[in-house]
């Protein structure tokens, strides 16, 4: 995919008028990726931007135009995929509790799963990387692939709206996995628990790793209650309680997810 020139002050807003594809810098590779995504971009520069890693955007000569990277598209795509996944599991499984729905969504929007989806779409092949990232194997790094998947979703959303983005997310992110995840809930299989869901949520928000600290315990040996706080950095997220330390940690993680979820939806 060849680069197209962008002005340094360009925003992520969809252009007011549709550029001709001949003038947009789109090439055969871009068309190949559009075919894979099953979405033809009215504004192909959005797809190019989604494939541009910051290492490439910052690696330019003084006489070259500023290139926009995919970080803000990634931010937008993260919000869109979270919303679509939430609505999808809500509509598919109305009988499930809030906690179960949260676990389903957490697994669907996890960094690991999005990286696997990106790998299945061969997004690494199309990434525009700086020389350092290229040498260090950036095309196969899970973090870069997950970021690229979110950026592509953000680009589709800006190009054609929520219906087009939702179609991509349903087909590639949700449909291939949601049935088996639902089955794991039923059978008590190994789908991520509240602690795993919280970790994935914080990773998606780039807030770091959750830390758990036992703050107290009460009661006789045969009926103890443990109290555990979970925090990220210096921020206290929630405090849980349970009959064991493990149960208290799960309760704290559940409450932290419930606290963070409205903020995530607002993004």
Q: Which domains does the chain have, with CATH numbers?
A: 21-187 (1.10.1520.10), 194-266 (3.30.160.20)
| Among the listed residues 248, 253, 257, 107, the one whose alpha carbon sits nearest the alpha carbon of residue 184 | 107
Instruction: Map residue 230 onto helix, strand or coil.
Output: strand
What Å distances lie between residue 176 and 3, 127, 143, CA to CA? 33, 24, 21
Only one residue has tokens 């033809």, namely 40
**212 forms bridges with which residues in the sheet?**
230
What distance in Å separates the CA atoms of residue 147 and residue 141, rounded to the nearest whole number? 10
Condensed to tens digits (0 to 9), the pLDDT of residues 130-151 reads: 888 888 888 988 889 999 999 9
Cα gap 184→38, rounded to integer Å: 30
The one-digit pLDDT tens for each residue of the chain (267 residues) are 433 333 323 333 433 333 334 333 344 455 799 999 999 999 999 999 999 998 886 666 545 556 788 999 999 999 999 999 999 999 999 999 888 888 889 889 988 889 889 999 999 999 999 888 888 888 988 889 999 999 999 999 999 999 999 999 999 999 988 988 887 777 654 565 678 778 878 887 888 899 999 999 887 776 678 899 999 999 999 998 877 788 788 788 878 887 886 544 444
Residue 155: both structure tokens together: 């680009």
From the number of C-beta atoms within 10 Å of its C-beta (0-12, 13-18, 19+), residue 93 rates as middle
Give the residue numbers marked as catalytic: 78, 150
Q: Report the candidate in 152, 157, 151 with the shortest Cα–Cα distance to residue 36.
A: 152
Which residues, other chains included, contact 100 with Cβ-Cβ below 8 Å and sequence gap of 6+?
Answer: 93, 185
CA dihedral 98, 104, 108, 113 (to 10 degrees): 140
For residues 108 and 89, give the distance between their C-alpha atoms in angstroms, rounded to a whole number: 10
d(CA 132, CA 55): 8
Convert the pLDDT of each residue in 200-217 to its tens digit: 788 878 888 999 999 998
pTM: 0.62
């Amino acid at each position: 995919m060849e680069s197209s020139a962008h002005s340094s002050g360009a925003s992520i807003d969809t252009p007011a008028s549709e550029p001709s594809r001949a003038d947009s810098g789109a090439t055969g590779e871009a068309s190949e990726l559009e075919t894979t995504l099953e979405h033809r971009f009215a504004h192909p520069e959005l797809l190019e931007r989604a494939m541009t890693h910051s290492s490439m955007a910052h690696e330019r000569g003084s006489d070259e135009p500023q290139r926009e990277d995919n970080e803000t598209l990634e931010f937008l795509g993260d919000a869109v995929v979270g919303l679509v996944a939430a609505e999808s599991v809500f509509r598919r499984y109305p009988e499930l509790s809030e906690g179960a729905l949260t676990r389903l969504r957490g697994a669907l929007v996890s960094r690991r799963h999005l990286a696997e989806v990106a790998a299945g779409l061969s997004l690494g092949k199309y990434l525009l990387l700086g020389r350092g990232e290229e040498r260090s194997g950036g095309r196969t790094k899970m973090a870069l692939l997950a970021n690229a998947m979110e950026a592509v979703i953000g680009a589709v959303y800006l190009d054609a709206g929520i219906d087009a983005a939702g179609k991509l997310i349903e087909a590639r992110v949700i449909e291939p996995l949601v049935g088996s995840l639902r089955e794991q809930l039923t059978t008590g299989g190994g789908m991520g628990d509240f602690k795993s869901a919280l970790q994935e949520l914080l990773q998606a928000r780039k807030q770091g790793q959750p830390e758990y600290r036992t703050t107290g315990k009460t009661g006789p040996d045969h009926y103890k209650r443990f109290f555990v706080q979970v925090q990220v950095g210096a921020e206290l997220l929630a405090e849980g309680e349970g009959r064991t330390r493990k149960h208290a940690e799960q309760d704290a993680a559940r409450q932290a997810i419930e606290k963070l979820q409205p903020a995530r939806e607002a993004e």
